[in-house]
Amino acid sequence: MAGLAPRVEYLAGFCCPLGGLAAGKPRVLCHGAEVFLSTGSELVYVYDREGRLLIAVYKFPGQVWHLELLALHRALYVLCARSGIYCLSLDQASRSVSRDDEDDRDDQDSEDGQVDELPAPVIPVHPDTCVLPSATLHAFTVLDDVLITLAQGPTQWKVQVFERPCPGEDPRPGGQIGEVELSTCTPPAGSLGEPTAPRFLPVLCCASPPGSRAPHGHPWGSGGVMLEGPLFGLLFGSDASLLESPVILCGLPDGQLCCVVLKTLVTSRSAPGDPKALVKILHHLEEPVIFIGALRTELPSEDVEDAYCDCLVALGHHGRALAIKASWDEAGHLVPELREYSLPGPVLCAARGRGGHVYHSTPSDLCVVDLAQESSPWDLTQRDRAPGGLPSLLCPASLSACSVVTLSVSSRAPEGGAELLALSAKGRLMTCSLDPHSETPHPTRVTSANAGQKIKELLSGIGTVSERVSSLKKAVDQRDKALTCLNEAMNVSCALLSSREGPRPISCTISTSWSRLQLQDMLTATCLLENSSGFSLDRGWALCIQVLRSSQALDLDSAVSAITYTIPVDQLGPGGQREVTLPLGPGEDGALDLPVTVSCALFYSLREVVGGALALTDPFKDPPSNECTPDVLPEQEGVCLPLSEHTVDMLQGLRFPGLAAPHTQALGPLSPARDPVHTFLGTCCGPVSQPAGPASLRAKYLPPSVATIKVSAELLRATLGDSHAGVSLCCATLQWLLAENAAADIVRAQALSSVQGVAPDGTDVHLIIREVAVTDLCPAGPIQAMEIQVESSSLANMCRAHHAIVGRLQTLLREVQTLRDRLCTEDEASSCTTAQRLLQVYRQLRSPSLLLL
Amino acid sequence: MAHRTPPGSSASHASCLDLWREKNDQLVQQAKVAQDSGLSPRRQQLAQDALEGLRGLLHSLQGLPAAVSVLPLELTVICNFITLRASLAQGFTEDLAQDIQQGLERVLETQEQLKARLEHGLRGLWDSVLHVSSLLPELLPALHHLAGLQAALWLSTDRLGDLTLLLQTLNVSQSGASEDLLLLLKTWRPPAEESDAPLTLQDAQDLRGVLLTAFAYRQGLQELITGNLPRALSSLHEAASGLCPRPVLVQVYTALGTCLRKMGSPQRALLYLVAALKGESTWGPPLLEASRLYRQLENTAAEIECLELLVEALSVAHIPEAPQLLIEVELLLPRPDPASPLHCGTQSQAKYLLASRCLQTGRAENAAEHYLDLLALLLDGSEPKFSPPPCPPGPCVPEVFLEAAAALIQAGRAQDALTVCEELLSRMSSLLPKRPRLWEDARRGTKELPHCSPWVSATYLLQGQAWVQLGAQKEAISEFSRCLELLFQATPKDKEQGPASSCEQGCTSDVALQQLRAAALISRGLEWVASGQDTKALQDFLLSVQVCPGNQDASFHLLQTLRRLDRRDEATALWRRLEAQTELPQENAAWSLPLYLETCLGWIHPPDRETLLEEFRTSLLETRDL
C-alpha cells in the first residue's frame, strides 16, 4: 500500500445541484470503456472513456437510486424512485452511439475534458417500459436469473425475489418467486404528507458459496461476492452450504445486517416466508450501513485466478467497520473471528479492491485500508496479529481526493495496482490510479510526444490538490471562527455572572400593552434586550422567552408545556438594543388566563457554533444533522443565562375604554375572531341562534361579584410617600395598583379614585378605592384604612383581579420586611420609633383584614 | 362560535362544494377504471394517481375551518382515501388511524368540543363524535362508513376491545348492549346513503359484510387452534354463510374440515374438503387436510395419493390475481402462519412429507424415488424456479440426505445410498474440523468436534450399512469404526459452538446420540458375528448395553453372543434382567428419533425376541433339570 502513489485524472463534469451532490444515491459503473453514471437525478449517462465523450443520456420518470450492470446479458438495470425497475439493453445504448457519432464528435472535442450535456441525445424512458413497477422499492440486486429487491412495507422491510426480467419484456407480476419480511422499519411520520426521499438507502449484497456457478460479470463488479466454504458455512449455516445456495445480505439504514438464504425464499402468495425461520441477523452496526462486501485477505496457496473471498466487511455511515473471517481454534474447530474498527466518518461511499483493500470516502478524503495479512513488513500492527487473523488496527492511507460520492473499482487495473472511478460532489468524474511503480521515478527523457501527457497529468494533479486545499481551508476557517465565537461567549457569560449586585451589563425589561393584531385585540409583551456591556452578542446567542400561563403553572402535569420562544440575537453590539414583541393572548377561544409569567434568558448554542467545526464536514456536501455531528454535543447543549422574570396579572391586562386617551380609545370592545373564510362557510350553516350559555345569562340576571381588601392607610401613605404628593391617597393607591398599566397616567391626570375597566375576555371590572375606618380590630381605636373594592360580573375575573391586588400587597409587605430587617441592624436608638411604628403597622396587616363579601 | 351569513357568498360556496364533490366523484370513477384494467403498470399508475388526487382534495378540504355542510363530503373523501390506500398497500398502517382521528376532530371542531375529549384517545373521540352526531343527522351515513373503516383497522390490529365498544356505541339505538362481537356486527345497520351523496369506492353495507365474514373466520380459526371445537364450528359456519371471495371460501371449508375431523366426524369433514377442492383456486390446504384425515382413518393408500396430488398441486405456479381496490376479507385476515392448520407449505415440503410417509409406512421403493426427486429439486439449480428446502418445521437439509440414504438402503439400492452419502460428505467438507495445528491442546485431553459431527457420524453409519448390504464386511467395519471414533469424541460442549440451528440441536439431543452410538456398536458387532469373531462382537455388544441401557436390542444381541460363547452365568443374569424389563411397560416409544435413525435401528433389530427368550428359558430349565 505504501508503494501506491495515487494519480488523479479528471474525465468529465456532470451537472449537479447547487450545494453539490449528496451521497447515497449517485452510482458509477464501468464496463470496458463504457461508464454508466447517475447523479441521483432522473438522468443516467453513458460515457465513453476512450473517446472521452458522452454517448447517451437516458431520462427516467423519477430519481435514479441504483444501477446494476449484467455484463453477460448486456443489460443495465435501473431503480427509479417510486416507479420501479427498468432494464436497458446495452446494445441499444451502443446503437445510439453509432447513430449520433458523426454529428457530435466535433462538439465534444473540448480541451478541459468537460462534457456539456447538451450534445448527447437525451432519450426519455417511458414509464410503461418499467419491467418491475413498484413504488416502494429501495434497493435491488441481480443474480443470474433472479432479481432480488428490497421494498419498504408499511411497517417492515420486505425482500422479494423475482424471475429476472429481460430488456424489452413486459412486466410479469406473476414472476415473483418468494418474499419474506425483515425487521421493523419506521416509515416517516405524517399521514397526508408526501413521502420524503430517504437519506440512506439499504444496501444489498449477494454472497455465493464456492461450488456454485460463477456470478455474473467480473469479480470486481458491484454485484455479488464469492465466499470460501468455511466462512460461508460459518455465517449462513450448514443448510445454505449443503444447498450451495446464494445468500442475500441486507444492510439496513438502522444498522442491522441480516441475511436470507436465497433457495429457502421460495414462497407462494398464500404463504409468505416465516421471518423467524428464514431471516438471520448477523450483526447490528447501530448506524446506517453504507457498504457490504467481501475480500480476499490471504494470498491463495496456489496460483488460482479466482480466489474466493475469506473476509466479509460491512461499513457504517459514522465509520464503524466490521470484518468477519473464519478461523480455526487450537482444537481445530471452525470459529468466527469478528472485529470492529473505527474509521474516520462520515463515510459517503465505499468499494472493495483487490487484495484486502477497502476504499472509502469521507467529505475530506478518500482513503484506503488494508485488511490483508501481508500488508507491509514494517507495519507495527503486524506483531499483535494472530497468524491468518485480522489486523487489530486499521490505518487509513489517504488517496488525496475529497468528497467522492460514489466509487467503482475499474477492471482495467494496471498490474499490481488499481484504478478507481469516482464521482465527486461537484459532479466531476475522475479516475484515481494507484500505480505501484510510479513511486520510483523514471528518469525518462521528456520527449515532445509525452510532454503533453505529462503536462496534462500535472494540471489534473493541481486540480485535485486545489480542491483538497479549498476543503481543508474551509475547515480551518470554520474552526477559527468557532474559537472566536467561543471567546466572546465566555466574556459575555463572565460579565453577566459576576455582576450579581447592581445593574446587569445585559438586561431585559418586559412591558405589556394592548394592540390590535390581525383583526383581534392582543395583549402583547414587549421584551427589550439592552446590551450595555463592552462585548457584542454574536452568532449562536439566542433570546429565550418562556411564557407560562397560570392554569399551566397550577397544573403540575402541563407545566412543561409552557411556550418557549427562541429568537436568535443576530449581532447585538455594545450599547445596542433589540425589542421583541410577543402576543400573550387571548387565544382563538377568546380566553386569556392571567396571570402569565414571562421569563427571559440568554442561550448560547454550542452546537450551532462549534458543532460544524468539530464535525469537520463541508456544509455543502453533508448538511449538518444529528447523524454527522459527533456525540460530544448532545441536542440541547449550550449555556443558559437567566435575565429576568415578569408576571403579567389582571391589573396589567385591564383596559379602560372609558378613559379618554387617544390610543386606547381606538381599541374598541373585543370582537371575536372572524376569519373571512369562516364567515363564508358560516353562510351554509344556516341561522344559528345566539349562544345562550349560562355565562351570558348570569351576566344579565345576577348581581356582580364583589371583593374588598382593606389596607392600613398609614402603611400606604408611608410607602407611596412623596411620589404621590398632591393627590388624594385614594388616587395614589389606584395609581400604584395600575402602575404597570398604560392607564396610570390618566388616573393621575384625572385624579380618579375609581375606574371601570374591561378584562381581556370582555367583561367589566370595576375598581373602587375608598377611605374607611376599621373599628373592630384594634382596642386603641379606629384605624384609618383604604378599602380596595373589585367588582365584576365574572367571578373568574374578579378573582384574578383580587389575586393581582393581593400580589401587590405581598410585594409591599416584603418591602416592609426588608426595611425592618435593615433597621434592626442599624443604630437602634435613632430608629427606634420608626421601627416601632412599622412593627405596629405590620401587626395590623397580619390581623385578618381581608374581607370577602 | 356563531356563524353569520355574509350576503352574497352562499352562491360561490355552493359552487365550490359542487366542485369538490365532482372532483371526488371523478377520482372514484378513475379508481374504478383502474380496478377494471387488469394487471398492468397502467392500473397501478391510475390507482396511484387517484390516491394522490384524493390526498390533494383532502388537503384543500381540511385547509378550511370545519363546517357542517361540507363535512359529509370531507368524511366521504377520507373514507375513499383510506380504502384506496389500504388496498393499494395491502394492509392498514398506523397513519390511517391518524387520518380517521383527523376526520373525527373536524367533526368535533364544528361543535367546539375538541379540547375536552382529546385525552381519551381514538376511542374517546368516537364516543364524543357519535354523541354529537345525534344532533347532526346529516353526518350519520358518512360517520358510519368511517366507523366501518375504523372497525376494519382495529380488527386487523387485533384491538377487539375497542372494536366492541365502538360497535356498542354504533348500535345504541338497538336494544341491549351485547358483548358478542359477531352479534354486534350482525345487528349493526349502517344508515343507507342518500342517492345524491358523493360517490364512494365501497359503501358501508358492503364493508359490514366484509367485516362480518372476516371476523367470523378469524374467530373460528382462533378457536380451532385453541381447541374449542364446537364454537369454532359455529363461527366457521357463520363465515361460510357470508359473502366471501372464493379463495377465502376454500380456506373456510378447509378449516371446517379440520374442525370436523378433530370432532370425530370424518365423513362430514370429507364433504367439506370436497367442496373446498371444487373451489378451483388453491388445492394445497384441502389436499393436505385430506391426507391427515386418511391418515387418521388409517387408509394409507388414500393418504399417499392425497400427498402425491398435493405435490402436483403445489408445482403449479400460482398466479396471483390483482387485488381489488377495496377493503377485502383477505386484507383483514391474520398473516399466514406456518403453525396454522391451514398452512400447506411449499412443494418440497409436501414432497418431503410424501417421501417420509412412504418410508414410515414401509413403501421403501416409492420413498427412495421421492427422496431422490426431492434432492434433485433442492440441489439442481439449473431450473430458474427452484424450490426451498423443507427446513423448519421440517428437518434440515443434512437430515434429508440421511433419510434419502436410509430409504435407498431400505429399498435395496445400496450403491445409490453410498453416492448420496458421498455427496453429503463432500458438501460438508469445508465445515469439518481441521487437524489441530498446535500441540498445545493435548493437555486439555479431549478433542471436541464442531456441530456437524452427529450428521457426519450418521453418514458413516449409513455408509457402513450400505456396505453390509453389498456384502463388503471389511468396508462396513471400517465405516462403523470411523463413525464410533467421531461419536465418542463428541462432548456436550459442542452444543455451544457453531451456527447451530434449532434442528441441529434436536439432532444432537442426548437420547439421539446414545441411540446413534448403540446403533453403530450393534452394527459393528453384527459384522464381527458374521465374520465369526465372537469375542470382538461381545465387546461391542457389551459396550452398546453400557452406552444405551434403554436399548433392549443391544441386550438381546449380547444374550445371543454370550449364549454362543457358552458363558452361562453371565447369560442367565442378563436373561433375568431382560425378563424383568419386558414385564415393565415399554416407555421408549416416547422418544422421537430422527427418521433415518429409526430406520437404521429397524435393520439391526433381533429377528425374534420372544422365541429367543422362550428358547433360553427352556434351555435354562433343561440345564437345571440336568
A675/B501 CB distance under 8 A = no
A265/B70 CB distance under 8 A = no
Q: How far is CA A588 from the centre of its chain?
A: 31
B395 pLDDT band (50/70/90 cuts)?
low
Which three cell numbers mark B70?
A: 361540507
Q: What H or E segment, with its residue span, contains residue A752?
A: none
Cβ burial, residue B375 (10 Å; 0-12/13-18/19+)? buried
Q: Cβ atoms within 10 A of the Cβ of A249, count?
A: 25
pLDDT at A834: 61
What residues contact A697, with CB distance under 8 A and at least 6 apart? none
Is pLDDT larger for residue A397 or for residue A668? Answer: A397
Q: Which residues of B touch A683 (CB under 8 A)?
A: 3, 5-6, 9-10, 13
Mutate to test the interface with B, among A243, A308, A593 (most CBs of B within 10 A): A243
From B501, which residue of chain A is nearest by alpha-carbon distance?
A237
pLDDT at A694: 52
A750 pLDDT band (50/70/90 cuts)?
confident
Q: Which residues of B touch A270 (CB under 8 A)?
A: 247, 282, 284-285, 318, 336, 344
pLDDT at A379: 42
The minimum CA-CA distance between B153 and chain A, rounded to whole Å, is: 14
Mutate to test the interface with B, among A163, A191, A267 (most CBs of B within 10 A): A191
Q: Which residues of B touch A696 (CB under 8 A)?
A: none
Q: Is the Cβ–Cβ distance between A149 and A85 less than 8 Å?
A: yes
- How far is Cα A333 from Cα B450, in angstroms, rounded to an integer? 6
A682/B6 CB distance under 8 A = yes
Is pLDDT larger for residue B429 or for residue A511? Answer: A511
Q: Which residues of A touch B94 (CB under 8 A)?
A: 155
A575-609 pLDDT per residue, tens:
888 888 887 777 666 667 777 888 888 888 777 77
A214-257 pLDDT per residue, tens:
544 444 444 678 888 888 888 887 778 887 888 899 998 888 88
A787-808 pLDDT per residue, tens:
888 888 777 778 888 888 888 8
Is pLDDT larger for residue A496 or for residue B354? Answer: B354
B289-339 pLDDT per residue, tens:
888 888 888 888 888 888 888 888 877 766 666 667 788 887 788 776 666
A449 pLDDT band (50/70/90 cuts)?
low
Which three cell numbers mark A629?
A: 455531528
A146/B65 CB distance under 8 A = no
Query: Among A431-445, B58-72, B387-401, B477-491, which stretch is predicted with the lowest mean pLDDT?
Result: A431-445
- How far is Cα B45 from Cα A135, in angstroms, rounded to an integer? 10
pLDDT at A447: 60
Is pLDDT larger for residue B548 or for residue B318? Answer: B548
pLDDT at A217: 42
| pLDDT > 50? residue A734 | yes
pLDDT at A560: 46
Instruction: Tell me, yes or no, if B443 comes closer than 8 A to chain A by beta carbon.
Output: no
Q: Which residues of B touch A84 (CB under 8 A)?
A: 41
B381 pLDDT band (50/70/90 cuts)?
low
pLDDT at B322: 67
Name, of A562-576, B125-139, B206-220, B240-254, the range with top average pLDDT.
B206-220
Signed CA dihedral, B94, B97, B101, B102: sign only: positive
A127 pLDDT band (50/70/90 cuts)?
confident
Instruction: Tell me, yes or no, if B491 comes closer than 8 A to chain A by beta carbon.
Output: no
- What letter does residue B625 receive in the DSSP assignment? H
The minimum CA-CA distance between A56 and chain B, rounded to whole Å, is: 26
| pLDDT > 60? residue A693 | no
| pLDDT > 80? residue B617 | no
A690/B42 CB distance under 8 A = no
Cβ burial, residue B442 (10 Å; 0-12/13-18/19+)? exposed
pLDDT at A314: 92
Q: Is the Cβ–Cβ distance between A647 and A595 less than 8 Å?
A: yes
Q: Cβ atoms within 10 A of the Cβ of B577, count?
A: 13
Q: Is the Cβ–Cβ distance between A441 and A406 less than 8 Å?
A: no
Q: Is the Cβ–Cβ distance between A546 and A563 less than 8 Å?
A: yes
- How far is Cα A53 from Cα A117, in angstroms, rounded to an integer? 10
- How far is Cα A416 from Cα A534, in angstroms, rounded to an integer? 64
Point out the residue among A128, A238, A683 whose CB comes nearest to the CB of B5. A683
- How far is Cα A602 from Cα A497, in angstroms, rounded to an integer? 12
Q: Is the Cβ–Cβ distance between B124 and B165 less than 8 Å?
A: no
Mutate to test the interface with A, among B4, B351, B453 (most CBs of A within 10 A): B4
| pLDDT > 70? residue A664 | no
In our burial notation (b when 16+ CB lie closer than 10 A, e otherwise), range B479-515 reads: bbebbbebbeebeeebeebbbbbebbebbbbeebbbb
List, as ranges, residues 234-253 from B with C-beta within 8 Å of A: 247
B391/A191 CB distance under 8 A = no
A849 pLDDT band (50/70/90 cuts)?
very low
Cβ burial, residue B205 (10 Å; 0-12/13-18/19+)? middle
Q: Where do the H-state alpha helices sit in A508-573? A: 550-554
A191/B98 CB distance under 8 A = yes
ipTM (interface predicted TM): 0.71
Cell numbers 410607602 correspond to what residue?
A719
Question: DSSP E strands: which ranges in A478-560?
Answer: 506-517, 520-531, 541-549
Mutate to test the interface with B, among A226, A269, A593 (most CBs of B within 10 A): A269
A267/B401 CB distance under 8 A = no
For chain A, the first-to-last Cα distance in angstroms comes to 94
Point out the residue among B3, B337, B430 whose CB comes nearest to the CB of A685. B3
Point out the residue among B285, B344, B499 whose CB comes nearest to the CB of A234. B499
Which three cell numbers mark A383?
A: 506483531
CA-wise closest residue to B498 among A286, A567, A238, A390 = A238
A604 beta partners? A541, A639
The amino acid at residue A614 is L
Q: Is the Cβ–Cβ distance between B80 and B27 less than 8 Å?
A: yes
The minimum CA-CA distance between A154 and chain B, rounded to whole Å, is: 6
